Amino acid sequence: MRLLIGLLSIILLASFSNGTSVSIEDETEVKTVEMANVLLTHNYSIQKWSLYTREKVSFIPKSLGYKGIMSELSKRASGFHWGNLEESDGSVKVTGTKIDSELGTKETLTLVSYPEENRISSYLIYNMEIKGFHQEEWRTTYERFKAQKSQLVTQEAQVFSCFVGEKNDTMDIVLYNEADKLLGAFSASKVEEINEETFVSLSAYHEEWEADLVTNNQRMNIQIALRNTGIGGGITATIGTPIITTEY
C-alpha cells in the first residue's frame, strides 16, 4: 500500500510541475496523498480522515420557511436525512447526515441562515468523514466529496483536509521529537508550537501548498498535533491543512 501511495504522489506532483495553475480540487488530492503517505511511512495506522468546506450560498430563498429550505437542499444533496429546523435569535439551522456503511463514510451538511443588513444570509458547511484509508477506495470517496461539493458551493471554496493516525509501542518516543520528525517529512517551516508533557502541536508553512491562513502576521497551512494516550498506550497524531478542524 505504501509503495502504491508513494507512486501516486510522484505522478500527481509531477503532473502539477509544468507551470499550469492547480485547482483547489487537484491541490486537495495532492495534500490527501501526501498526508496519508507521511503517516503510513512513519508506521501510523490511519483511523480516519475527513474533507470539509464551507461558503456563503445564494440559492436559499428569502423566506426562511422550512419547506423552501428543504426543497432547495434536497435538490442539491439527495439521500440526506434531515433533522429539525433549529431557530434562535432570528437565525435558523438545519443539519442532515448520510451514511454509507460499505464505504465507511459519513457526510454531514449544515445550513445556517441569519439576518444581515436587512437581508437573509446563509452559509453551508459540508463535511465527509471516512474510516481508515484504503488504497482501493479512497479515490472513490474523494470523487464523491468533489461531486457533492460542486452542487453546493463554488469551485473556489476552500477545502480543509484532516487525518488521524495511531501508533502503539511508543515507550521510547519523545513526543516533541516525533512531531518534529513528521513535520520534517513535509519540508514545512515551523511557525508556532505548543509543547506539553502529553501534548504537542506544531503549526507550519508548506511552500508547495497554495492555500494558507495568517496567524501572528505569518502564513501557515499545516498543523500537526500529537497526544500521548497514557501509560501503556500509544500516540494519536492529527494532521490538518490549512488547520485542524476536528477535536484533538
Per-residue pLDDT, 14: 38
pLDDT tens sequence across 6-49: 434 433 343 333 333 334 557 889 999 999 999 999 999 999 99
C-alpha angle 243-234-169 in degrees, rounded to nearest 5: 130
pLDDT tens sequence across 212-221: 889 888 999 9
pLDDT greater than 50 at residue 63? yes
As given in the structure block, the three cell numbers for residue 190 are 515551523
pLDDT tens sequence across 131-166: 999 877 888 999 999 999 998 888 889 999 999 999
Domains of the chain by start residue, with CATH: 2-12+22-50+161-241 (3.30.360.40), 52-134 (3.30.2030.10)
pLDDT tens sequence across 78-121: 899 999 888 888 888 999 999 999 889 999 999 998 887 777 78
C-alpha angle 222-226-232 in degrees, rounded to nearest 5: 165
* Percent of the chain whose pLDDT exceeds 70: 84
Per-residue pLDDT, 17: 35
Give the pLDDT band (50/70/90) at residue 67: confident
- Give the residues across from 81 on adjacent strands: 97
pLDDT tens sequence across 165-194: 999 876 778 999 999 999 999 999 999 999
As given in the structure block, the three cell numbers for residue 187 are 519540508
Per-residue pLDDT, 18: 37
What gap in Å lies between CA 222 and CA 187, rounded to an integer? 11
Q: Are the beta carbons of 55 and 122 closer than 8 angstroms?
A: no
As given in the structure block, the three cell numbers for residue 91 are 437565525
* φ, ψ for residue 30, nearest 5 deg: -60, -45
pTM above 0.75, yes or no: yes
pLDDT greater than 70 at residue 239? yes
What gap in Å lies between CA 89 and CA 109, rounded to an integer? 22
